[in-house]
C-alpha cells in the first residue's frame, strides 16, 4: 500500500478533526505507517520530524520501548474495568504518584479521557461545590481573553478563540472575560512582569465586583497555547491565587497543554509557587499514548461532596473509559521516565539549544517576536514587524510554512501565523537544528 491508496480510501470515509475537508482535495492527509522517537514515517517511506509532539501529547517519543513494555504488561492483565464500584492497581498507583508530584494540598484525583472532559469536570465540580455549600447564586466563570480550554460546549464557552467559538456562541455559557496578561501585547518598554501586574487590575476589578456570582477563575498557567503560544509572567498567577483566596473563588489551572515539564518545571504553577483548587491534566499525562485526563483537587473541595447518599451531594459525573488501566499504565511508565532520567535537567539544555537555534529568526523582516518558555519556542510572523500588524488571515501564511516544512521532512503546524516548536523531549540537538533550519526556510518562503 502507498500513501496515495490509503489517502484515497481515507477521503471516501473519514471526516478529520479541525479540518476544512475541501483543503484535502489538493493536499490529501498523510498516511503514517510507523513512528519511532521524534520521527513519523509514511507509506512511501518519507520521514517527518514531529516538531509539535502530535498535538502536544508526546513526551518521550513514538514507540517508546519503556512505555510500550508497560502497556503490554497491563494488556495481558486487564484492559479495562469500570471505575465505579471497582478499582485497579494502575489507577491507584497513578493517583498516589500524581498527588505526590503536584503542588502541595491536592489530595484526590478524578479521571476522564480527554482534556475537554477534564475541563467540563472542573467547571461542574466548582459549580456543584458552591451548590453543596449553599451558595446558590454562583453560576458564572471568569476566564481570560485569548484563552483555550477545549471544544466541548462547556470548555468552549470559557475559551476565547473566535475561530473555534464564534459559530456556537448562541449555545454557550456566558463567562466573564478579562484581558489576558499576554506579554506580546505589552506597551513598548514594559517588562512582562510589569505588563502582567497592570493587566491584573482588570481581574481584580472583576473579582471584587462579581465574586458573589462567580464559581471559579479558569486559566492556562504561563502559556496560552492554542491562542498562539502567547506567554505571560508568573507574577500574574501569584496575584491571582491571592485574589481568589481573598474573594473566595476557585482557581482552576488548566495544565493540559503545559503540564509535565513543557514550561521547564513539572507543572507551570510551580513557577509561581501556587496550588490551584483544581488542576486539570491531560495530553502528556499518558506520554501521548492513550486518551487520559485528570482533575486533581484538595480536601475542602472533596469534603463538600462527601455525605450520606440521601443528602444528594455526590458528584455523579462519569465517562465509560474513566481511568482506563492501559492509559494509567502508560502514565505510570511516563512518570517512571521522569523519575529515572532526570528529564527536567536534560530539558534545560535542550531548551537552551532550541532558543539559540531559533534566535536568528528574530532578525527576519516579517518576524515580530521569537519567544520561549521551557520546551516551547514560538515565532510570530507579522505583515509589519514594527507595528505588529498581522497578515490578513485569509492569506494563510502559516499553512504555507506547514506545507513547505512537510516537503523538507518536518511536521510544523502553525497556529495562524505563529510557527512554534513543541517537540518530544527525546529530540537531539542536531534534530533541533534541522527543525529550526526548516522553519526558517518555511518562513522565508511564506513571507515572500
- Footprint of ligand PMP (CB under 6 A): 114-116, 119, 148-150, 220, 225-226, 254, 256-257, 282
Rounded to a whole number of angstroms, the minimum distance from the CB of residue 437 to ligand PMP is 27
Q: How far apart are CA 102 and CA 67, in angstroms?
A: 21
Task: Name the residue among 151, 169, 228, 178 with its Cα closest to residue 420.
Answer: 228
Task: Name the residue among 327, 281, 226 with its Cα closest to residue 106.
Answer: 281
Ranked by CB distance to ligand PMP, the top (closest) residue is: 115
Q: How far apart are CA 70 and CA 17, in angstroms?
A: 29
Of the pair 268, 382, the CB lying nearest ligand PMP is at 268
Rounded to a whole number of angstroms, the minimum distance from the CB of residue 53 to ligand PMP is 11
Other CB atoms within a 10 A radius of the CB of residue 71 amount to 20
* Alpha-carbon 156 to chain mean position: 14
Of the pair 331, 361, the CB lying nearest ligand PMP is at 331
Q: How far apart are CA 325 and CA 81, in angstroms?
A: 8
Of the pair 53, 372, the CB lying nearest ligand PMP is at 53
Rounded to a whole number of angstroms, the minimum distance from the CB of residue 319 to ligand PMP is 12
Rounded to a whole number of angstroms, the minimum distance from the CB of residue 32 to ligand PMP is 19
Q: DSSP per residue over 320-366, as a string?
A: TTTT-HHHHHHHHHHHHHHHHHTHHHHHHHHHHHHHHHHHGGGGSTT
Of the pair 53, 447, the CB lying nearest ligand PMP is at 53
Of the pair 37, 282, the CB lying nearest ligand PMP is at 282
Q: What cell does 344 get?
A: 527536567
Task: Name the residue among 434, 392, 391, 428 with its Cα closest to residue 412.
Answer: 434
Cα→Cα distances 227→160, 257, 410, Å: 8, 12, 22
Rounded to a whole number of angstroms, the minimum distance from the CB of residue 110 to ligand PMP is 16
Of the pair 415, 446, the CB lying nearest ligand PMP is at 415
Cα→Cα distances 1→15, 28, 45, 200, Å: 21, 15, 11, 56
Q: How far apart are CA 394 and CA 301, in angstroms?
A: 46
Rounded to a whole number of angstroms, the minimum distance from the CB of residue 246 to ligand PMP is 26
Q: What cell does 322 get?
A: 474513566
Other CB atoms within a 10 A radius of the CB of residue 202 amount to 16
Of the pair 281, 434, the CB lying nearest ligand PMP is at 281
Rounded to a whole number of angstroms, the minimum distance from the CB of residue 140 to ligand PMP is 20
Other CB atoms within a 10 A radius of the CB of residue 217 amount to 29
Rounded to a whole number of angstroms, the minimum distance from the CB of residue 45 to ligand PMP is 30
Of the pair 226, 351, the CB lying nearest ligand PMP is at 226
Of the pair 220, 440, the CB lying nearest ligand PMP is at 220
Of the pair 207, 257, the CB lying nearest ligand PMP is at 257
The answer to whether 272 and 234 are in contact (CB under 8 A) is yes
Rounded to a whole number of angstroms, the minimum distance from the CB of residue 268 to ligand PMP is 11
Of the pair 228, 367, the CB lying nearest ligand PMP is at 228
Task: Name the residue among 53, 36, 106, 98 with its Cα closest to residue 339.
Answer: 98
> Torsion angle of alpha carbons 98, 100, 105, 111, nearest 10°?
20
Cα→Cα distances 421→55, 384, 417, 435, Å: 11, 23, 13, 8
Rounded to a whole number of angstroms, the minimum distance from the CB of residue 104 to ligand PMP is 23
Rounded to a whole number of angstroms, the minimum distance from the CB of residue 369 to ligand PMP is 21
Amino acid at each position: 500500500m502507498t500513501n496515495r491508496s490509503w489517502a484515497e480510501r481515507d477521503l471516501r470515509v473519514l471526516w478529520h478533526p479541525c479540518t476544512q475537508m475541501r483543503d484535502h482535495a489538493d493536499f490529501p492527509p498523510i498516511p503514517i505507517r510507523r513512528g519511532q522517537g521524534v520521527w513519523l514515517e509514511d507509506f512511501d517511506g518519507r520521514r517527518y520530524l514531529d516538531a509539535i509532539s502530535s498535538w502536544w501529547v508526546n513526551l518521550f517519543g513514538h514507540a517508546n520501548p519503556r512505555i510500550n513494555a508497560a502497556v503490554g504488561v497491563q494488556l495481558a492483565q486487564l484492559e479495562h474495568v469500570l471505575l465505579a464500584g471497582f478499582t485497579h492497581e494502575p489507577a491507584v498507583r497513578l493517583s498516589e504518584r500524581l498527588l505526590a508530584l503536584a503542588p502541595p494540598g491536592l489530595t484526590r484525583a478524578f479521571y476522564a479521557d480527554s482534556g475537554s472532559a477534564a475541563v467540563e469536570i472542573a467547571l461542574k465540580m466548582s459549580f456543584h461545590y458552591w451548590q453543596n455549600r449553599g451558595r446558590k447564586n454562583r453560576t458564572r466563570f471568569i476566564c481570560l481573553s485569548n484563552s483555550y480550554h477545549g471544544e466541548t460546549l462547556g470548555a468552549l464557552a470559557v475559551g476565547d478563540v473566535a475561530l473555534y467559538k464564534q459559530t456556537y456562541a448562541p449555545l454557550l455559557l456566558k463567562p466573564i472575560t478579562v484581558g489576558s496578561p499576554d506579554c506580546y501585547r505589552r506597551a513598548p518598554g514594559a517588562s512582562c512582569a510589569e505588563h502582567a501586574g497592570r493587566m491584573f487590575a482588570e481581574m481584580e476589578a472583576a473579582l471584587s465586583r462579581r465574586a458573589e456570582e462567580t464559581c471559579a477563575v479558569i486559566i492556562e498557567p504561563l502559556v496560552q497555547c492554542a491562542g498562539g503560544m502567547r506567554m505571560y509572567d508568573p507574577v500574574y498567577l501569584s496575584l491571582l491565587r491571592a485574589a481568589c483566596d481573598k474573594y473566595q473563588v476557585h482557581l482552576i489551572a488548566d495544565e493540559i497543554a503545559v503540564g509535565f515539564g513543557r514550561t521547564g518545571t513539572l507543572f507551570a504553577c510551580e513557577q509561581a509557587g501556587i496550588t490551584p483548587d483544581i488542576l486539570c491534566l491531560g495530553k502528556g499525562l499518558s506520554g501521548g499514548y492513550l486518551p487520559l485526563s485528570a482533575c486533581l483537587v484538595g480536601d475542602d473541595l472533596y469534603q463538600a461532596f462527601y455525605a450520606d447518599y440521601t443528602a444528594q451531594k455526590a458528584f455523579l459525573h462519569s465517562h465509560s473509559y474513566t481511568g482506563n488501566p492501559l492509559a494509567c499504565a502508560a502514565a505510570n511508565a511516563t512518570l517512571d521516565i521522569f523519575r529515572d532520567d532526570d528529564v527536567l535537567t536534560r530539558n534545560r539544555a535542550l531548551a537552551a539549544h532550541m532558543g539559540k537555534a531559533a534566535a536568528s529568526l528574530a532578525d527576519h523582516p516579517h518576524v515580530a517576536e521569537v519567544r520561549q518558555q521551557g520546551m516551547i519556542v514560538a515565532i510570530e510572523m507579522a505583515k509589519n514587524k514594527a507595528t505588529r500588524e498581522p497578515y490578513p488571515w485569509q492569506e494563510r501564511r502559516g499553512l504555507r510554512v506547514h506545507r513547505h516544512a512537510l516537503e523538507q521532512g518536518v511536521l510544523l503546524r502553525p497556529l495562524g501565523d505563529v510557527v512554534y516548536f513543541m517537540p518530544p523531549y527525546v529530540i537531539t540537538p542536531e534534530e533541533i537544528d534541522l527543525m529550526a533550519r526548516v522553519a526558517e526556510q518555511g518562513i522565508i518562503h511564506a513571507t515572500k
